Amino acid sequence: MQTITAKTIISNYRPHGWFASNYTMNIYRGCSHGCIYCDSRSLCYGIVDFDTVKSKENALAIIEKELKSKRRKGLLLSGSMSDPYNPCEAKEKLSQDSLKLIDKYGFGTVIITKSPLVERDKDILLSIKQHSPAIVNFTVTTADDKLCKQIEPHVAPTSQRLKALQNLSSQSIVCGVVLIPILPFINDNSQNIEQLVAAAADNGAKWACMDGGAGMTLREGSREYFYDALDKNFAGIKEKYMAAFAANYVCLSPNRNLNQIFKEACYKHGLLYKSADIDTFILSGYKQTQQLSLL
């Protein structure tokens, strides 16, 4: 495991972050999942050797110091830039130990991951849930494990993520799914969207998120990597991207019916999908713990 220096790990407080979060935290830099679409490869982030996972020196000491100094409690979002449950986490246990600190100092957590490894930490999540929301989001982009292997080559297939979702939700851990990105000309079809939403509901998810609609983002660094991957695995698709999007940052699916299909599928299966409703549901976790303490 390579290390890099860091002066700070937890961001400043913000009142309305993604999934009702107030802080962001990334213990690792880089990712070995190999997802062909990853925006974190973009040159603007300045991550050298992105495929090599690096941890931040003295990460736990920094996190504890910063948690102690925070004047406001809140939810820490982990996984906005790199997966907190990359393969190195199985040995390093930095995400696990950070959850223990989050619990110790009375904060909540929102995790975004593609890894079933998060199941390992279910007992800590349940402990956090006694005082604050403890949320696990699984990113799923395709219901087809074969296609998953092409676009997310070094990570657990969708079927394993859904199994982890079922296992956690069955133990009263609040979970959702993130359907981002939906790649134009690859997985942007109604069957895929409907299958993912149905599978999410069947395995205990409370919501499905497709924030921004069906599409993806591309900019310098991530675009070149993505196009190389298209040439290797999806003949002729790169040319469609170049014709449809040129150098655009936002690349929305030409299948404009998908957003409505997604909403209708969520409604059919009883899943939340509006950001405001998801945030309200997450924050209701505080009210539930307060009610329990009164009882």
Place of tokens 């790649």: 183
Residues 173-188 as b/e (b if ≥16 CB within 10 A, e otherwise) read: bbbbbbbbbbbbbbbb
Domains: count for the chain:
1
Here the CATH number for the domain that contains residue 250 is 3.20.20.70
Task: Give percent of the chain with pLDDT exceeding 90.
Answer: 90
| Residue pair 32/294 in contact by the 8 Å Cβ criterion | no
**pLDDT bucket at 293, cuts 50 / 70 / 90:** very low
In this prediction, residues 222-235 reach a mean pLDDT of: 96
**pLDDT bucket at 290, cuts 50 / 70 / 90:** low
d(CA 215, CA 150): 18
Give the global pTM: 0.94
Q: Provide DSSP, 83-137.
A: -TT-TTHHHH-HHHHHHHHHHHTT-EEEEEES-GGGGGGHHHHHHHHTTS-EEEE
In this prediction, residues 59-85 reach a mean pLDDT of: 95
Mind listing the pLDDT tens digit for each residue in 240-259? 999 999 999 999 999 999 99
d(CA 148, CA 114): 11
**pLDDT bucket at 294, cuts 50 / 70 / 90:** very low
The domain in which residue 124 lies consists of 2-294
